[in-house]
Amino acid sequence: MAKPDGSIIETPITANFREGLNILQYFISTHGARKGLADTALKTANSGYLTRRLVDVSQDLVVTEEDCKTKNGLTLTAVVEGGEVVQDLSQRVLGRVTIDAIKDRENKKVIIKAGTLIDENNVKLIADNSVDSMTIRTPVMCETTHGICVQCYGRDLARGHIVNIGEAVGIIAAQSIGEPGTQLTMRTFHIGGAASSAAAVNSIEVSNDGEASLYNLKTIKNKDKNLVAVSRSGEIIILDKYAKEKERYKVPYGAVINIKDKQKVKSGDVISTWDPHTTLLYLKQVES
């Protein structure tokens, strides 16, 4: 269990109400019950007030014209954390309008024209051609004097097509941010005071098909003739058919490498494994 300040109580609760708790375990469980009730009472009021303030500052933001003709935009790339693609570029640009034309890598033919709304068909084209960055119209760069223009806003997510003039997008944005605030309060109530921790990572699994390249990686062979990483800054990079980087993974010291350099890999392949709870020691024989 966790105390109200977030610190974990060292004595664990090993039973449940059905099996029966002893006096100490029951007393510790009251931390969770009280925390849940107090949080629900306090945080619901805060999240409601947040929504009210957000609506107050954004209520005058309305779609007022078709196109502000701006040449400025935002350049987007895929979101990568720890070598893993958290959000693909094609998913980030869905529902936005392009500023520049998107060209095919091989024959430089235009596949998406400038000023096109990116829909599901265009998303597939972007993914197939390994486009790694795109400049798109964004409300942040909109040059409309009062309000915002249709081209900078893009798709109306409520209806699935480009936004209509007169849509109160400020109110929608305020309510969209404020609404999950109430949900998060309720989640605290469900979890209560239970202490949780994430499972330790012990392998690298590839997300995309491609070619694996070992970068800055020193290895030795163990008794099973498997490669073992003995450098702390080594990485495995996954390249696509255009030799563009799709994924990059840091390889921890002592990890067993299941692939060779320049080997073809498929999505879902486990390319490296290690024991997160033990540290490897290797001895080097010195010639006398």
Give the pLDDT confidence of 104-162 residue by residue, as tens digits.
Answer: 877 788 888 999 999 998 888 888 887 888 999 999 999 999 999 999 999 999 999 99
Q: Kindly report each contact of residues 162-166 with a partner whose C-beta sits within 8 Å and lies 24 or more positions away, as own/partner.
A: 162/117, 163/63, 164/63, 165/63, 165/64, 165/65, 165/66, 166/62, 166/63
CB 79 within 8 A of CB 66: no
- 7: pLDDT strictly greater than 90: no
Strand partners, 156: 161
pLDDT band per the 50, 70, 90 thresholds, residue 194 = low
Provide the 3-class DSSP secondary structure of residue 282.
coil
Kindly write down the DSSP assignment for every residue of 13-47, as one continuous string.
--S-TTT---HHHHHHHHHHHHHHHHHHHHHHHHH
| E strand map for the chain | 63-65, 74-77, 79-81, 84-87, 102-103, 110-112, 133-136, 148-149, 155-156, 161-162, 203-205, 210-215, 219-221, 227-229, 235-239, 245-250, 256-257, 263-265, 270-273
pLDDT band per the 50, 70, 90 thresholds, residue 193 = low
User: CA 131 to CA 123: how far, in whole Å?
Assistant: 10
User: Looking at residue 279, what is its pLDDT?
Assistant: 72
Provide the 3-class DSSP secondary structure of residue 177.
helix
User: Looking at residue 85, what is its pLDDT?
Assistant: 74
User: Looking at residue 30, what is its pLDDT?
Assistant: 86
Mind listing the pLDDT tens digit for each residue in 208-263? 889 999 999 888 888 888 889 988 889 999 988 878 888 888 898 889 999 988 99
- 6: pLDDT strictly greater than 70: no
Is residue 211 classed exposed, middle or buried when 0-12, 13-18 and 19+ CB atoms within 10 A define those classes?
middle
User: Looking at residue 186, what is its pLDDT?
Assistant: 61
Residue 233 or 181, more confident? 233
CB 202 within 8 A of CB 276: yes
Mind listing the pLDDT tens digit for each residue in 52-93? 999 999 999 999 999 999 999 999 988 877 666 788 888 899
Is residue 5 classed exposed, middle or buried when 0-12, 13-18 and 19+ CB atoms within 10 A define those classes?
exposed
- 197: pLDDT strictly greater than 70: no
CB 265 within 8 A of CB 282: no
- Report yes or no on whether pTM surpasses 0.75: no
Residue 287 or 126, more confident? 126
User: CA 245 to CA 131: how far, in whole Å?
Assistant: 11
User: Looking at residue 164, what is its pLDDT?
Assistant: 95
Mind listing the pLDDT tens digit for each residue in 84-107? 678 888 889 999 999 998 888 777
pLDDT (average), residues 193-198: 54
* CB-based contacts of 162, cutoff 8 Å, min separation 6: 117, 150, 154, 155, 156
